[in-house]
Amino acid sequence: MTEIDIGAIEKLAGNLNRQTRGPGGVIGVMHEGRVVLRHAWGHADPKAHRAMTTGTRLPICSISKQFTCGVLIDLVADPESLAGPLAQLLPNLETRRPTVAELCHNQSGLRDYWALTVLYGADAEGVFRREDAAPLFARMRDTHFAPGTRYSYSNGNFRILSDLIEEKAGRSLGELYRDRIFSKAGMETAELIPDTSQQVDGVVGFEGNDATGYFPATNRIYWSGDAGISASLDDMLAWEAFIDRTRDDADGLYRRLSAPQTFSDGNRAPYGFGVSHETISGVAVTGHGGALRGFRAHRMHAVNERLSVVVMFNHEANARDTAAAFLRAALGLKDEKPEAPAAGVDWAGQWLEAETGLLVTTAPSQAGVATTFAGGAEIVPATSATEARSPSMTMTREGDVLRFGRWRENLDGVARRVSGDARGDIAGRYHSPMIDAELEITGEGLVLHGYFEGFLGRGEMTPVLPVAEDLFVMPCRRSMDAPAPGDWTLRVRRSADCKIEGVDVGSWLARNVSYRKIG
């Protein structure tokens, strides 16, 4: 039996409104099947003076993915029995089609469809309808890695699962959630509400922060399978109670969802069936986070300690770190502080990684090396002038070569320092047969702008910034999904006589998209 410090978590909860500074939120902690903290603060809608309560439903965002997989494995004995319908959803895929299990484990290699909406010219504030997903998947011709070999977060995996499940059952996913999971777990008010333009229980999500102020977020996306569930804290604590109640059932739903998975080479995988695996201060936890414009959520479960934490905000504070802080406080664990960086280390540099085709940027910081590669910046403590290490990434410098390992993605990469001056001759129009979309670059010299265009529209003009010889980036700070893809790396391809043949475009969630110059 694990003892927990209830006083510590109550004190932490009392300070949350000052720490997160946002409009409102809820936090719940469960130990050995019993709720030991249920706390709500602030407002679901400050303008209407509507208080946040533990019964207020909020979008749980990507936490929905485990419920999608739960319906799948409860519905069919063998997920691969749906391989035939999967082929129909990916009719133009020319490389090896992923298995249904690889979709569930984020090992499909399919580029994230929300990142692809940028390349298809979608308006970040626009509408994405239910019927927009199928033509996007139908345009896919290859994967950005061989299925089963790597991990890459792809919301589209779970949207495809949603379609497969509904076709198999002949019923809506919302009905299946309710009948196969919500009713059994006692999640009385949880519901699939796929249209995010609908306000549930009068809740308003907010962008911004304490420094800039908060403003209502705009969402007009249809989610199904990858997100879309709205649930109260009471609903989510009922799910955690169900997990604890069925913990000794060898065929229990959460035991099957949270079973360890591997990659095709046998290496352990950090993710499976919509559930992420990590270690916090030495404690093994399973769970998932969620992000929608104006909302953040996270749940985590420590199976050996029989401890669960659920955090949901109607603003964009860090729900994962908040949940981890409550787990540590409950168990009396210290925060994991990074090692002090080695003195006199200069890690500034820009590097091009071969397999992903992405720019890696490193810069010294007080806590180590600020590394931008997989989306946002990560801090990797420098242990020497040539090595840096964090729980998720190791890096070794050898002159102009940067070698790194990222175990969660099963990726060992080699990046080379970039150099030389960019040329200002890349203006023109480019077409990608891989995704059936176009890129237009305008301007003179190195004062360049560009936009993406496709079946979803014509995107906004974005600066095309020079990095090195034949290497540029196009920043993307806003898109339909939250967070946005980040910088798109543009690598220019030239013929033997130096004429431009095309560009290869990529971000972490959508890599190596090839365009050829057409004008």
d(CA 243, CA 255): 8
Nearest to 224 by CA among 169, 163, 281: 163
d(CA 300, CA 286): 6
| Residue 143 bridge partners (DSSP) | none
Q: In which residue are the tokens 């008010």 written?
A: 189
**Cis peptide before 483, with omega less than 30 degrees from 0?**
yes
* Contact criterion met (CB below 8 Å) for 509 and 115: yes
Give the active site residues.
62, 65
d(CA 204, CA 24): 10
Give the CA dihedral 215, 216, 220, 222, nearest 10 degrees: 110
Distance of CA 197 to the CA centre of its chain: 21
Q: In which residue are the tokens 């290869």 written?
A: 504
Residue 410: C-alpha distances to residues 286, 347, 352, 374, 428 (Å): 19, 24, 19, 13, 37
- Residue partners of 107: CB distance under 8 A and separation at least 6: 98, 147, 148, 149, 150, 151, 152, 263, 269
Nearest to 173 by CA among 295, 64, 277, 280: 64
